[in-house]
A and B are shown apart, each in its own frame.
Chain A
Amino acid sequence: MIRTIVASIVFLGFVGGGFVLLRESGTVRLGRKRAVNVFLAYTVLVTGAIGLSQRTSLFPFHMWTLFGPPAPDSLSTTRWMGVDQAGEEHAIDFRAWQPISFWELRQWFDRRFPRLSGTQQEVAAQFLLELAEHARVRGREDLPIGNFDRVLGPLAIPLFHTYRPIWNQPTDVPAAPFLGLRWYRITWNRAAWSDPERVWRAETPTSELHYEYFARP
């Protein structure tokens, strides 16, 4: 709450300072220059304080902590699998979840999903199942999957993390409809982590079923 208030005030101050510049643009030069100086000082102070303190970002002012913390010493991830009528599991293309970016979805599933009630979880899971199934149908019909490249095609700005599409042609896409979803937690152990050769061969990831959902008939 406090951060929201502070962030709003800081942004309003920035835009408000700009308005003063507009007002001063038609007046004497000295007044204009002084107004520019105040605006610059405010902006430099705010961006500098946020970046140097590394305490918090106040969007759109960012502290740019890109890869600042040490690399994680263990590796775990969430993997979604579509389940067909025969009970067979299939990997799902990352574009299937759009308009939700894959990274956001994974974070949401790790941090927010467990806090939902059982009924809420089912509603959200049903929605995700529909997204996955919709993408599967489109993939089978050789139609574009996801909608981020609907306007610009391959010229669309890629996601921050460049995932690899796995449904590139209809034969890559599972033929049978998805009736359910399973979420697995995949973890590489620390012994493998310290030995890149073993990690690259993906010898020892453990896979733990985290949640599963099947559509109600």
Chain B
Amino acid sequence: MMAFLDRPVRWWNGFWFAKGSPYNLAAARVLFSLHGVWLLLSRDLPSMSGLPAEMWAAVSPHVQWRYLMFHGHPEIEYGVQAIALAALIAAALGLWPHISFLLSAVLLYHLAPLETVIITSEPTTRGFEITILATAVLAFAPCADVWSVRRRSPRDDWEYGWPLRLLQLFVVQIYFFSGWAKLMWTGFNWISVENMRGYILYSNLTEPVTFTKLGIFLTGQPLLLWLLAFGSVVFELAFPAVLFSRAARYVLIPLGFLFHIGILFSLNIAFPGVSRLLIFVNWDCLRLRALRVREE
């Protein structure tokens, strides 16, 4: 009766429960926890709680309760941040991974909105969203069986596969959904010289920015602008291929780094999550190669 479901179910199981490597998952553990530390130490979120009440005037009570984030307690927030940092460092070392990652996820969920609290309760594109999701997933995964202060006994291979694939899916969604959004919001008109030129001018003129040479050059190159617009949409929509194809990873991951470098120099946008592309690297393979070189 349910025969028509056989294929999708087989595909689903084949994708999520394929063999995984404890080393690749451990690499993701280190990467995401250190990225969280890096983000926290690059901002001063607790101070936002100490802004004048007038700047918090538009923050509704239900938003404050949602994040348990209240005005006028920067010293408490510094304490919370210290606990979050300790939890993330413990997670990176593989100490009590369930507790340390869960604590990190919950505390980051509480701290992250402080960055944008004066205008919105959704601190998107500031770098914390994927970190929170990833730390929550890692809290429930066997991510500290290797490359950890405390080595643990190995599990079934599939236990190391699905968490990494889910983290990779979160990263893929950034690119795919932003390509999808261009078509949803603007349609194929997004791929036009005027649109690209408009974005470059907007990003370069509103404030003094760090890089202007590439932007100035590009605004006078209509063909290049069109190719960049077209290439961006194609790249973003094609990015999910990295989940299924090794060849796609070899092409699209380096292209992803180039993509962000181009965006930095033309649009002056530093995407805080670019280092997360490293979770597509096969660290286990590199480890084995390094071992072989050492033996020789």
A206 contacts B by Cβ under 8 Å: no
Contacting pair A99 B48 (CB below 8 A) = yes
B26 to chain A minimum Cβ distance, whole angstroms, is 17
Provided the pairs A11-B109, A100-B48, A150-B44 are in contact, do residues A123 and B169 lie with their beta carbons within 8 angstroms?
no
Interface residues of A (CB under 8 A from B): 1, 4-5, 7-8, 11, 14-15, 18-19, 21-22, 29, 33, 36-37, 39-40, 43-44, 47, 51-52, 54, 57, 59-73, 75, 77, 94, 98-102, 104-105, 107-108, 111-112, 115-116, 120-121, 123-124, 127, 147-152, 156-164, 166, 188, 193, 196-197, 199-200, 202
Provided the pairs A111-B119, A116-B54, A156-B42 are in contact, do residues A68 and B210 lie with their beta carbons within 8 angstroms?
no
Interface residues of B in 176-199 (CB under 8 A from A): 176-178, 180-182, 184-186, 189-190, 194-199
Contacting pair B195 A66 (CB below 8 A) = no
Contacting pair B119 A104 (CB below 8 A) = yes
- Apart from the given pairs A15-B106, A163-B209, 4 other A-B contacts in the complex at a CB distance below 8 Å: A52-B177, A108-B118, A152-B41, A199-B201
Contacting pair B176 A196 (CB below 8 A) = no
CA distance A61 to B122 in the complex (A): 10
Contacting pair A33 B17 (CB below 8 A) = yes
Interface residues of B in 209-257 (CB under 8 A from A): 209-211, 216, 219-220
Contacting pair B166 A108 (CB below 8 A) = no
Provided the pairs A59-B121, A160-B270 are in contact, do residues A101 and B129 lie with their beta carbons within 8 angstroms?
no
CA distance A202 to B133 in the complex (A): 43
Provided the pairs A22-B98, A124-B55, A149-B42 are in contact, do residues A61 and B133 lie with their beta carbons within 8 angstroms?
yes
Consensus secondary structure, chain B interface: helix
Residue interface mask B19-54, A partner, CB < 8 A = 1: 000000000000000000011011111011001101
CA distance A14 to B60 in the complex (A): 24
B103 to chain A minimum Cβ distance, whole angstroms, is 12
Contacting pair B211 A196 (CB below 8 A) = no
B71 contacts A by Cβ under 8 Å: no
CA distance A185 to B295 in the complex (A): 66
B202 contacts A by Cβ under 8 Å: yes
Provided the pairs A22-B98, A22-B140, A156-B42 are in contact, do residues A200 and B207 lie with their beta carbons within 8 angstroms?
no
Q: Could you say which of B16, B55, B123 has the most chain A C-beta atoms within 10 Å of its C-beta? A: B55
Choose one: A43, A64, A69, A100; the contact of B51 (CB below 8 Å): A100
* B-side contacts of A59, CB under 8 Å: 112-113, 121-124, 129
Contacting pair A70 B139 (CB below 8 A) = no
CA distance A64 to B125 in the complex (A): 8
B23 to chain A minimum Cβ distance, whole angstroms, is 20
Task: Give the residue name and chain of the A residue nearest to B124 (CB).
Answer: A62
A100 to chain B minimum Cβ distance, whole angstroms, is 7
Task: Give the residue name and chain of the B residue nearest to A58 (CB).
Answer: B122
B170 contacts A by Cβ under 8 Å: yes
Choose one: A112, A127, A162; the contact of B119 (CB below 8 Å): A112
Choose one: B112, B121, B139, B219; the contact of A4 (CB below 8 Å): B121
Interface residues of B in 143-194 (CB under 8 A from A): 156, 158, 162, 166, 169-170, 173-174, 176-178, 180-182, 184-186, 189-190, 194
Contacting pair A161 B119 (CB below 8 A) = no
Provided the pairs A64-B177, A100-B48 are in contact, do residues A164 and B184 lie with their beta carbons within 8 angstroms?
no
Choose one: A5, A8, A63; the contact of B177 (CB below 8 Å): A63
